[in-house]
Amino acid sequence: MTTTSSPSQPPIYTPTNIPSLAPSYSLTAAEVSTLSSLSSAAKATAYCPYSRFRVGATILTTDGQYFSGANVENASYPVGTCAERVAFAKAVTDLAAQVEGGRFGGAGAPDAKGEGGFGEWKRLGGGFRALAVATDNSLPASPCGMCRQLWVLFSSSIEVVESVWLKEC
């Protein structure tokens, strides 16, 4: 496997060697390839007229569903939303709708904790397995603290595939 790295940067993997990462993340080669492809495709939906820095993110759930998102900027920089948070928000709302629609057999009614259908999905065994992020940079972009906090909140056991810096060629 050919990778590049430096003491301050983890290895950068190219599309040809991404599938070989699967065992390191308890994922199949197909799952890693799908995460990579979907996060790269999500970049095309980014709204980034200020920075022109496109980011796409994809989350894999324990039941095999993929949810993608892209960064959405605002002229007031802190108001923008990172791709990882968009993907998590999409997963939470779509999974809640699936539970409320009866897909998982739960009622999905709001509970005392205010978790609604997403909380029911978690109680039924749902969870997040992996997260992948793609950018146009030749060097990796580290996720922000808000994104890191969000994935820890939703899944302390999530495999962060982006930590190996998936690079497009």
Token couple for 97: 């709708």
Non-local (6+) Cβ contacts of 168 within 8 A are 15, 40, 134, 136
The one catalytic residue in 84, 120, 159, 162 is 84
Q: Is 84 a catalytic residue?
A: yes
Q: Which residues are annotated as catalytic? A: 84
